[in-house]
Amino acid sequence: MSASDQEQTVTDSPLRQQPTRIGGLTPRMARRVRIAAASVLMVAVAAVLAVRLASRSSVLVVGVYGLALILCGGVIELSRRGRTRLGTWLLVAGLAAAIAADAFLIP
């Protein structure tokens, strides 16, 4: 193996390559951002649940906000495993459904 072949194998090694950036973020950074967003939304949903339970005690309230909390936890797990786009879509759709249920189903 010549010196030029050795240099080429060193520069082509996977350890030397930079992670690909998607929209300005590396995949690892995107996962961390989505995990942080889901965690913040989980805390917000828990706070809204506490306020709703203080004003009225309903099984429907606990069900809607409980499912939203489970959804946020599922999104965190999906983001940990690298399924950030799926997690983002589920988070948006699920929280929109929870807001709609709060507005139209809960008296």
Range in 15-24, 44-53, 70-79 with the lowest mean pLDDT = 15-24
C-alpha dist (Å) from residue 24 to 20, 69, 87: 9, 29, 19
Higher pLDDT among residues 8 and 49, named by residue: 49
pLDDT, position 93: 92
C-alpha dist (Å) from residue 47 to 4, 50, 52, 53: 62, 5, 9, 10
Question: pTM here?
Answer: 0.66
Average of per-residue pLDDT across 37-59: 85
List residues bridging with 25 in a β-sheet. 22
pLDDT class of 40 with cuts at 50, 70, 90: very high
C-alpha dist (Å) from residue 49 to 20, 44, 57: 40, 9, 10
